[in-house]
Structure 1
């Protein structure tokens, strides 16, 4: 059922404006029920009419695609300096220490420890002692000998 602008204005005035304090601003989309009669009713009640995102789904998709491309570019720029490392069994790694809020003089890592297992979900198992193992996420460990950065920019 398609609502007309006159019907939309009547419904909003009878249900919202009659029961609650008058708003200062009314935000709507570009739907067909928010045309001349609705805008006149909003102005009559002393509110300002503002539009939100477009009603047309194609326009919404275009805006979302543009925003996603901006997010992708930002993530690429943020991750450009990171070095990825694939851990293997018998690699030596350091375990990052939790520093807390005030322990600035604590060691930042402990180890080195030997990697005993590499899991597919982003975890590794390290051997703390001959009979003690600990499973950690790869963000909590870093290699003993860091990988040199790979030059991928222009001019290389």
Structure 2
């Protein structure tokens, strides 16, 4: 895992973000950005996420990369309902649940699946290259997609 990626629950990170920045975020970039390697496949366990800092990924928004059901997905990290890190939420069966108010989002499409969230999350393309997880910031994931886990012998 690179220095720019963090994983696991972090109440301190959530609090720092909530107190240090307003819930408004910059507009998404107009063009796709070059891909970046965010971690090795083995660095991200099933049902976990890591965060790629917005200053590193070039979008100005933190992006969470998730592993669920043997696939990899990426969404903007901040819940569209209220300011909370989705990487700190519950991940299961292709969805993530916000740790604050239990809103749910589809990892494949970003669709808001359960209130109180009604606005979808922005998705990002994820690709596996060798043993690396590559993120394409600003490039939407194809609907219903997710990069499959590569089996290792």
| TM bucket normalised to smaller | under 0.3
Report the structure, 1 or 2, having the larger strand content. 2
TM-score if structure 1 supplies the norm length?
0.23
TM-score if structure 2 supplies the norm length?
0.23
Report the structure, 1 or 2, having the larger helix content. 1
* Larger Rg belongs to: 1
Q: Which has the higher contact order (CA 8 A, sep 6+)?
A: 2
